[in-house]
Structure 1
Amino acid sequence: MPAETVRRGLLIILSSPSGAGKSTLARRMMAWDPTLSFSVSATTRTPRPGEIEGKDYYFRSRAEFEAMVESGDMLEHAEVFGNLYGSPKEPVEAAMRAGRDTLFDIDWQGGQQIRNSALGRDVVSVFVLPPSIEELERRLRSRAQDSDEVIAKRMAKSEAEISHWAEYDYVLVNDDIDQAEADLKTILTAERMRRDRQPWLSDFVRGLNREFEERGVE
């Protein structure tokens, strides 16, 4: 195998209704493969206790956020429950050039924007479904992060989120987080091995053909 085998990085989009497990899966994928870059979102919402600027989110004012959108510095953006969220473009493009994959924990709106962008050919999209709506609500309540009002809003939004499942390349039903993690690893491993994601193969095969010629094989 040639020394130079750098491929163009993938954009791995994970989406799900809130509580279905995409954030847990994203954390597990980052632990499994430290070469993965995580796309840290920018947001206009107030930081929660313990959240760190640049690690959990880039916290920006609405004016700053809107200026980034206007200048084309966001890959995608959306308004959720009165706050703006989006994915800064520059870190993602830098990772792609270096051959590193970037993981996105975003909703269907953001995923759709990225799939429809100039980077769409590099996207692998995965939608995570809960095993039931009852279990989805149980998970939201067990996190003890949100008020009853916010949980009700998240549950109402879940139906609209789930309606977009068929737009994704892969769909996982998260009734067992360990199995869902294993399936996601399989998806990423296979996508990385696709012929069109390994540009070095053309030169490698030409080298094999030259070896045939040098050996006098017709």
Structure 2
Amino acid sequence: MSKILIITAPSGSGKSTIVKEVLKQFPQIKFSISACTRNPRGAEQDGVDYYFMSVADFEHKIQKDAFVEWEMVYEGKYYGTLKSELERIWKADEVPLFDIDVQGAVNVKKRYREQALSIFIQAPSIDELQKRLISRGTDPMDAIEERIAKAATELTFAPHFDHTVVNDTLEHAVVAVTRLIANFLHT
């Protein structure tokens, strides 16, 4: 049985930083690159961080049933995981790690059940989440406010996941997540 790892969180909870640490510690785990219709941020690269595509291309792939999961996360902004991406990773006898939004994570967990380990990363508070998003310096204030509003809703989904890890300090969160993953991979 091919295994899948799912890590999700409201934006700004530290998910991407934790994922980078996990990838360093487990060479058999490979980052599952999501597709999206938003513009690259900072130094993000197509085919490395995301598969950046137009809305028309994304919608064409939806029609062709090319996604494991997909979602319009924000108005006009699609995100999803291509079936070809999972096949690429499994073909190399590796374990895909999904770093995806909360709704997408719920859908993947429902689809793969025991085959998947799902971990919800949570910031200690909404206030801390807002501070983290502002300190990133990558988004305008209206986008940050939209993310905060969405985060409040996303927090209600935590019970749908196998485990919740509160990222109060990065070091503790990384230890907790790597322990959960090590146990899952060895079962």
Say which SS state the counterpart of residue 181 (structure 2) adopts: helix
Give 5+ residue unaligned stretches, structure 2: none
Q: Counterpart in 1 of 2:147?
A: 154
- TM-score normalised to the size of structure 2? 0.93
Match of 1:88 among 82, 89, 97: 82
The percentage of aligned residue pairs carrying the same residue is 34
Q: Counterpart in 2 of 1:125?
A: 118
Q: How many residues align?
A: 186
- What do residues 31-62 of structure 1 show as CA deviations (whole Å, max 9, x unaligned)? 11222111111111122342211001111111
Q: Counterpart in 2 of 1:62?
A: 55
Which structure would you say has the larger Rg? 1
Is 1:106 the counterpart of 2:115? The answer is no
- TM-score normalised to the size of structure 1? 0.81
Which structure shows the higher strand fraction?
2
Give 5+ residue unaligned stretches, structure 1: 1-7, 195-218
Q: Please give the residue correspondences for 1:15-94 in structure 2 after superposition, counting only pairs within 5 Å.
A: 15-82=8-75, 83-94=77-88
Which letter maps to 1:16?
A
Offset of residue 130 of structure 1 = 1.0
Say which SS state the counterpart of residue 131 (structure 2) adopts: helix
RMSD: 1.4
Q: 2: distance between equivalents of 1:48 and 1:129?
A: 22
Does the aligned pair in 2 maintain the 1:75–1:89 contact within 8 Å? yes
Q: 1: distance between equivalents of 2:63 and 2:114?
A: 24
Say which SS state the counterpart of residue 14 (structure 1) adopts: strand
